[in-house]
Amino acid sequence: MEAMRDGRGLQVSADKEARSRRRWIEPALVIAFTLALTLPFIARPFHMDDAGFLELARVRQERPLEVALEDYTFFGQENEVFIDTHPPLISSYQALVIALAGSESETALHLSFLIFPLTAALSMYFLARRFTRYNLWASLLLMASPGVVVMSHGLMSDLPGMAMWLLSIALYLRGVERKSLATMVLCAFALTTGVFISYQVLSVIPLLLVYAYLRKELSVLTILPFVLPLSSFVSYFAWHQIIAGILPRFSYGVGEPMAWYSLVQKAVNVAISFGGAVIFTGALMRVLLRTRWDFTIYATFMLPMFVSMYFQYRAGEYTAIAVILAVLFMPVGIIFIYKIYEEIINRLRTEERERLADNVFLLLWLSGVMFYVVFLLPYSSVRYLLPIFPPAIILFLFLVERYYGLADRTARIVLLPVTVTTAIFSLLVAGADYELASANERFARTDGRRLAREAGAEGGNVWFVGEFGFRYYMEQEGFVELPEDNLVPAGDIIIQSPLADPRSFSSELGDRVELVDTIPYDGTIPLRVTNFNAKAGFYGHFWGLLPFSIATGSVEDFLVYRVEEDV
Amino acid sequence: MKGLVIDLAERLRQQQTRDILIVVAAVLLLTLPFINKAFDWDDREFIEFAQVFEQDPLEFHLEDLGYRGEFYEEFRTTHPPVISWYLSLFLRLGIDVSEAALRLAMIIFPLIAGVSMYSLGKRFTGYPLAAALLLLVTPGFIVTSHTLMGDTPGLALWLAAVAFYIWGVDKDSWKLLLAAGLVMALAVLTAYQALSLIPLLLFYTLVKRRFRLRSFVPFLLPVLVFGVYTLYLQQKYGAWPRFSYSVGLDFGWRDPSEKIRAILAFVGGGIIFPLAVIPLVRKKIDLLLVFLLLPPLLTWAIFYYLASADLTVYQSLWLALLVTAGFFLLFRILSEPVTNIYRLVRRRGGSSDTLFLLAWFAGVAFYVGVFLPFVSARFLLPLFPAVVLFFLQEVDRIWPSSTRARTLYISATVVLTLMTGIAVAAADYRLAGSGRSAAEDISAKYGGDDGKLWVLSEFGFRYYMQQQGFEYLAVNAEASPGDLVVMSRINSDQVLAPLPEGFYDVVERIDLEDRYPVRMLNREAGAGFYAHLVGPLPFIVANDPVDEITVFRLKWEE
């Protein structure tokens, strides 16, 4: 008896030790994995909307609460006062980092932004623990997904927004579970920070409210975390109105978000992104397509997609590879969405009532983000879809649990390869994105300078057409963005990055410009994330419906125009 | 059994004696090191009146006085006479006007305040010693206790009157009530604000439901004394007592909001160490209300200054911290009585003490906000004890069952508040000293100048410049081209008009730098301990020049 008790005691002690070890080792592994996927990209040139955030950060060095840019040309439109469409925190954080670093250093800024992927990874680790025993894999898979890897190398608000979104939810669920006031207070601060990073985080409030309602836990404690962000948001509105004379802007007002063609494009983009940007497609197919029935459904979706794409291929709209990728991604995406909905509805039917809140919560999270991306946002993009990644991955793990069971072997034979292939693929995608970012910087510092020297020798100036990272580095060289209606004197040079702004010149100027050179910048990785020809539109579906595509050759062809005399 | 009771009473008496000795020691430790502080602010006025009272205690005016640029043949003060009467006693004893002598004479008042607060601490909390020490170490109290002005004496007598009255009512003792009446009368002639003791203590009688004649008799004394004083002034000067210089009296829409902001910041920073108030908001419903109200409050308090570029971001963060601390205190001070009213109405216990403390706090905040021309830590001084007593009551509610946690929290709060108080008092000491040394330096440099020497500033700088032989430049002054005028920015800000453009050349501008990194009256730093019109913060860590002295040479065609 004594010996048995001793033996059981030893077993309990060993279990406790193992749990304790797990408690530290697993988060450490999550941190190490996240750093491994981000640190190699720490010197990436500024890219995409990084430039817009930095523009405001620069202004906030002098005027920390400035919400507008003065005399700012954006996509050729001249604005006396340009109101930012983002909440203020990211630019303010950048301003602080710039002040501390003493310059707009890519490395310093990217290093300072590591806090966000790390927050996201750890939050996912603790949040997923509530839903699946594969919470470690949930966290690793989230951080390995192409969308997250690429966005974790930028300075935009999307990944920080997702990080605070996840942190808020993780804290809230823990706070409700433990009825902990301290956790709820922390949740309130995380939510408020999130709302001031990305307005989308506001949608966490109704989501969590429904969760508390379904758990029958509506109380002062569970409402508490929503009061601070809402009160702060309303106060910010009032202040913005007083300072800037108008309410904050939520959008640049481009496009027609509710037009039928826009809705279709966004819905297609969502499906394709599900198939290509969340988990490596091959790995996803390996898990999802298990039976003949699965393959039949896949083929059923593939066929109309193929027909549609074929006609576009024949019309010269799509390359063959783009067609293949679209035909590959979209049916997988649809099946992925279908399967996770099927899984959650199945769970709602079969699982005990106390899990109802958890399952409905995941369902609403997933559906809510899809709804606002398709119906409310001006265009679809992987970065806008980021908040959908965590529930999609948790639900993917539900499927894995169902198909392969809860065993260590499952982790070894399914999750490890899925995560590793996804991570490797994501690094390639991120590498391709890096090459494009780098091309803008290299062009400005080499060919841009050369063209300026040549134009200067003939008494001309250099203008540029393009936004994003291209604009940032061109402005660093002292070039000025060409306003749409500007009358440019003969002899001046105009450089255009078609990816950064494909606009054509005004009718007056269009007759006077002559394309004198096309300067291609090649990439070594045969993947493209932003490319009209390859139909890769990771940052927005107007570049292409695919999140990324396969292509070789130049990552960007910079166009050089000379302005001629008016005839 | 009887022996045990006697033994207990004896031990209690010993403990009280020990505590009182600690309070006395604390007062001495907090005042004696600052005994040589240069005269500043209204000290000069109290000294000048003391010199008049030395000759005739019933002459309530100064003759032929230039003040705030104006000239008065007969200048009547806005301060009641007790402090100057008191100082004149020392002058009659042959003591010269010196910083050390007069400041030493004033130590009696923080001593009275400390002992009275001990008594009130005993009545309202279980921590009489902590109550007394916490009041004594507050930045507002330490700084104000180093002046000759009527604020600390007014508070001391206020506290003594409240202590006498409350114990008198509670014990139904006519001796204590009579003492309360006498001290109240003295308090009213020390600081007019003490008049508000009458409604406050009447309110105490009301909430305690002690409607006996003897509870009302003490109020006759201050009313009678004030009435006689007023009638005397009316008969002698044909005018009522002056209550204000009418500085900054602007009842436009901006003014009340600025005052409320300043009151919150001064309450948050001038009393208890700001971060010590965080545990006060601990209940779910409290947090909910704080989360709801604090963002709009901070938006209103901070962004206004930032948007108008009156404060830098750093200064605004200070303001945010102090306003938040002030809001936390105010929130507790309001919410606890509300809970108690609910309990009283529902007959579920509840204490009327919190109602009395709320009335005390609200009454002072109201008259400072509405009747006084600007917000200043010294004007708010009478509400400090109410806040301290509330705070200590709250400590019991935060940790009802852990003596160790309460002791630790109170001790840490006293120590942190003391450190803040000493830091601010040192800044005040150095600021006052800078005026004295600047006067000496300027006199040494320009004393032999051919032109006549004038000073166009008030307060301490004026005092020391006049000591150096400079004359005050009022509207009646007969200045000539070539005369020198010296102006201290901090001693003329808001009270004197600048010299007319084109009638002077700037000979020299001197920035008075100080490496000591705390500012408590500095427009650039946003600090306005003595007047919120200079800045909304009671103090700040900053290194802006403490003052700017400008030497002008007058010029015009004769």
- Reported ipTM: the value is 0.83
Q: Do B291 and A188 touch (CB under 8 A)?
A: yes
B299 touches chain A (CB under 8 A): yes
Residue A244 pLDDT: 78
How far apart are alpha carbons B136 and A88 in whole angstroms?
43
Lowest mean pLDDT among A240-244, A297-301, A388-392: A240-244
Pick from B287, B298, B299: which is nearest to A224 by CB? B287
A228 touches chain B (CB under 8 A): yes
Q: Do B303 and A64 touch (CB under 8 A)?
A: no
Nearest CA in chain A to B288: A224
- B532 phi and psi angles, rounded to 5 deg: -70, -10
Pick from A188, A231, A242: which is nearest to B296 by CB? A231
List the structure tokens of A505: 């010149």
Residue A35's CB: how many other CB atoms inside 10 A?
16
Nearest CA in chain B to A182: B282
Interface probe for A, chosen from B254, B286, B288 (most Cβ of A below 10 Å), is B288
Residues of chain B above pLDDT 90, percent:
71
B22 touches chain A (CB under 8 A): no
**pLDDT class of A24 with cuts at 50, 70, 90:** confident
Residues of chain A above pLDDT 90, percent:
52
A235 touches chain B (CB under 8 A): yes
Within 13 Å and on the Cβ side, how many CA atoms surround B17?
Answer: 6
Measured at the alpha carbon of residue A263, what is the angle toward residues A260 and A267, in degrees to the nearest 5? 140
Q: Do A231 and B292 touch (CB under 8 A)?
A: yes
Interface probe for B, chosen from A179, A183, A205, A228 (most Cβ of B below 10 Å), is A228
> Chain A contacts of B287, Cβ < 8 Å?
181, 185, 224
Among left, alpha and beta (phi > 0; psi -120 to 50; other), residue A245 is left
> Chain A contacts of B295, Cβ < 8 Å?
228, 231-232, 234-235
How far apart are alpha carbons B37 and B180 in whole angstroms?
33
Q: Do A223 and B288 touch (CB under 8 A)?
A: yes
Residue B247 pLDDT: 45
Q: A26-54 pLDDT, tens per residue?
A: 999 999 999 999 999 999 999 999 999 99
Residue A192 pLDDT: 97
List the structure tokens of B422: 């000493």
Pick from A181, A221, A227: which is nearest to B292 by CB? A227
> Chain A contacts of B285, Cβ < 8 Å?
220
Q: Do A238 and B293 touch (CB under 8 A)?
A: no
Whether pLDDT at A121 is above 80: yes
Q: Do B295 and A228 touch (CB under 8 A)?
A: yes
Q: How far does the CA of residue B295 sit from the closest CA of chain A (Å)?
A: 5
Dihedral angle, C-alpha A261, A266, A272, A276, nearest 10 °: 150
Q: B27-40 pLDDT, tens per residue?
A: 999 999 999 999 99
Interface probe for A, chosen from B291, B292, B323 (most Cβ of A below 10 Å), is B291
B97 touches chain A (CB under 8 A): no
Q: Which residue has the tokens 């802006």?
A: B544
Q: B471-493 pLDDT, tens per residue?
A: 999 988 889 999 999 999 999 98
Measured at the alpha carbon of residue A332, what is the angle toward residues A330 and A338, in degrees to the nearest 5? 105
> Chain A contacts of B293, Cβ < 8 Å?
231
Count the helix, strand and coil residues of chain A and give each as a percent rounded to the nearest 5: 65, 10, 25
A518 touches chain B (CB under 8 A): no
Residue A243's CB: how many other CB atoms inside 10 A?
16
How far apart are alpha carbons A321 and A533 in whole angstroms?
11
If you average pLDDT over residues A80-92, what whole number do you get? 89
If you average pLDDT over residues A88-96, what whole number do you get? 95
How far apart are alpha carbons B78 and B46 in whole angstroms?
11
Residue B253 pLDDT: 45
3-class SS at A339?
helix
Check the CA dihedral B149-B154-B159-B161 and report its sign.
positive
Average pLDDT, chain B: 91
How far apart are alpha carbons A269 and A255 in whole angstroms?
16
- The pTM of this model reads 0.84
If you average pLDDT over residues B502-508, what whole number do you get? 93
Average pLDDT, chain A: 89
Whether pLDDT at B346 is above 90: no
How far apart are alpha carbons A186 and A126 in whole angstroms?
15
Q: Which of residues 24-83 of B touch A (CB under 8 A)?
A: none
Lowest mean pLDDT among A263-267, A341-345, A507-511, B398-402: A507-511
Whether pLDDT at A6 is above 80: no
> Chain B contacts of A221, Cβ < 8 Å?
284
How far apart are alpha carbons B284 and B292 in whole angstroms?
12
Interface probe for B, chosen from A66, A193, A220 (most Cβ of B below 10 Å), is A220
